[in-house]
Structure 1
């Protein structure tokens, strides 16, 4: 009899331990009574673009990220409590989030911490939880300057759930969620204008070779090219236009032509340093502006070379090739500037979007 009583007490103890473990997990374990994987709906709003650093491949954004998921354990009687949802903000929301299951959404390409962070949590009577988080953060993005200053940049935000493989939780966005997504029209960066947002689902591989859900949110920005035309192209054209005076100016000596060309080369070098300082990446990276300046060196040297050599041949009264040199000189006066103009226009047109 004593053995039977002892066995019953032992089984009762096991049951109490199991119940205690289950209670210890409480609401922080994966939601029960729902179909796995748990669907975490995400909406993203870009409240502001504070800075774009092309050379460093970084951007500073002010974001609002909304997460929604359903957990039956959070449901409550709206009539008994006299409200349809519970709202918490700031520290209260953070404390409540520690006591319930949350997806653990992270921004994979974030650099550093989050500044000016605010968070709000709403729990609806039917068990839906909504977390809205606003913060400023630096993100590492891939940028290309091939079309500067006519470029568009795609800033990708990689959102993922590193705590849960895709068999347990997945990120998704629906048409209803996209109504809460978007980008503000007035941005702090005056040289950029917003184009829009796009969402693409992806997978990320974890350390244990398990796949995790990822949602790539792409913010598309277009550079305000008209702000750069006068500051970039007019100085370059003005320096290259000196070649027309060398080619067509009457009565110029060879040493005067050389002085003008070498002065233009120095001015072009000074412009390239100025551009790189004012517009980082405009010269150091492969841009149409860098291509024009590089070809400008070759063009100015070619003008000087052809003009000096042909002038020497033409200056010989009884020279064998005097007439041919005179005709070639007349053609090159038109051909060299025309070829340079066509090449520059081609580089600019090739960089235009679309």
Structure 2
């Protein structure tokens, strides 16, 4: 932890570089390792008086709205299928970008030099391998869930012909508890596999092997020295809880300040627009909507910016442990290279 903290301080504060923080924040966001955000610049509600009636809308606009509504209703199934496909494609693209950014972040921290586009182009292939690995894991999880739950679902469907009864209710309750147990087990197994996979990323990067080979190497090392990594997992649990509490406090403070500021800005803007656009509530909300959207984006970026150092510290903690645990290959950490250049032979491990 001491070494990880020291490396985090050198990376982020010695010297402080605003644009370096911005690039690291973007990388962490693209990975998906930042905080989860629920909320925005403000919560707004309006009653029925704010919604324009058909008499308030000109005939031409009303006809356009009616035509759009009829078109959507006539092609609802096509739009639904298209939306589902779009969501799936977008999720796959984001998952691939996340996989590439995993290698970009590791290289940025190891070298203490954030070259976003250069590293991104360099790790497109390795990122694709990690993307396929994660996709395969997700498929295996789904297959396991299906194998365990489908027999019970089939049994429940067969019981519906006999009508409702205690046996059916008990079966449903049992199925719910079974699903909860399966999810709990998968979360634990997924966490363990995820830990191995995170350790495999730098192994793959600096040993020149594929992510599949690196994962196999980490598993083999685990078989040889499993006691150390068990202690590492316990320490990571405690460390994650402590970091989450600290980041949560900071996020709450920032969120409270941002919420009050955005409410004041939006309130003043609403009053000004109400005075300028008398009786045009629809137009007021059309103008306010982009402002609120921008505020939500700014809020998310601000929270990600202040919470980014926690992700960097945890990644340095993992890299420092990996150096000590798996010394078969060398991670060219920036501070070791600097000491080598100055002739300092003190071991950092």
TM-score band, normalised by shorter chain: under 0.3
The structure in which a higher percent of residues are helix is: 2
TM-score between the two structures when normalised by the length of structure 1? 0.22
The structure in which a higher percent of residues are strand is: 1
> 1 or 2 for the larger relative contact order (CA 8 Å, sep ≥6)?
2
Structure (1 or 2) with the larger CA radius of gyration? 1
